[in-house]
Amino acid sequence: MDFKSYEEFWPFYLSQHSKSSTRAWHFVGTSFVFVFILLTVFTLNFWLLLLAPVTAYAFAWISHFFIEGNKPATFGHPVWSLRADFRMYRLILFGQLQKELDKNPELRISAK
């Protein structure tokens, strides 16, 4: 799909994460990014940084293929997908995802 801007892409990204379990797997995977960054800082073992994207993408892609049943948006829009993943993470973390989903009523997605 062609998108002219990130803000145009964002509702599509949300639609590709319609199931709460998909979003939960993403949240866990993205959390591991921060875990590996902290481990790298504390141990000064920079090889651990390689595990951050591998782990995050593993959780995300498993959720897309086996739960959501779609192709990850990363394949077509890698930069916007990464940005959107961190945005979704922040919204989930601060309990604001439902408010965001309500802004896009055509999606008919519940945060639960």
Q: What are phi and psi of 60, to 5 degrees?
A: -65, -50
Does the structure show a pLDDT above 90 at 106? no
CA distance 13 to 91: 14
**How many other CB atoms are there within 10 angstroms of residue 49's CB atom?**
13
Q: What is the pLDDT of residues 21-64, one digit of tens each?
A: 999 999 999 999 999 999 999 999 999 999 999 999 999 999 99
Q: What are phi and psi of 80, to 5 degrees?
A: -65, -35
Give this prediction's pTM: 0.89
Contacts of 99 (CB under 8 A, 6+ apart): 91
Q: What is the pLDDT of residues 76-86, one digit of tens each?
A: 899 999 999 99
